[in-house]
Copies of this chain bind each other. A is one copy, B any other.
Amino acid sequence: MLRVSKLTDYAVVVLSRLEAEGGVQTAPGLAAATGLGEPTVAKVLKMLSQAGLVEGQRGARGGYRLLRPLAELPLSEVIVAIDGPIALTACVDGGMGLCEAEHVCPVRGRWDPVNAAIRDALSGITVARIATPKPALLPALVAE
């Protein structure tokens, strides 16, 4: 179904909330604000921290801080941070010896232009674009 993981979706939610609030936010606080599970939020934040999208500050008054405004953050970076490198098939990344039909496979490594095209399309969309069109009238959406 050409899906990304749910964690990526959560990441967008958390990032959105992080920018809406501003400053340093704790993982439990963001969990309460987004309605997601606390361990899940912590996991997402951790991944984003490793990818350099947010910065974690340890200690008693610690928390997470946004390193870049969402308007300058392409969606592809979030996907890479959560789901790993963008590659539609397993044939392209590391292991190539695990394909038993290797010598008769006519498409060996030919998915590259596809991956490139998708990576390109995803680089052109910022997180801000899909997170909150107009932060002000967000309640209008949830009213439904």
Number of interface residues of A (CB under 8 A): 55
Q: Which of B1, B79, B84, B130 lies in contact with A110, CB distance below 8 A? A: B130
- Structural contact, A101 and B34, CB atoms closer than 8 A: yes
Q: Is A69's CB within 8 Å of the partner chain B?
A: no
Query: What are 20 sample pairs from A and B whose C-beta atoms fall under 8 A apart?
Result: A1-B5, A1-B83, A1-B87, A2-B3, A3-B87, A3-B90, A12-B107, A13-B106, A13-B107, A16-B106, A20-B106, A35-B100, A104-B144, A106-B131, A106-B138, A106-B141, A106-B142, A108-B141, A113-B129, A114-B122
Residues in chain A within 8 A of chain B (CB atoms): 1-6, 9, 12-13, 16-17, 20, 33-36, 75, 79, 83-91, 100-101, 103-108, 110-111, 113-114, 117-118, 120-122, 124-125, 129-133, 138, 141-142, 144
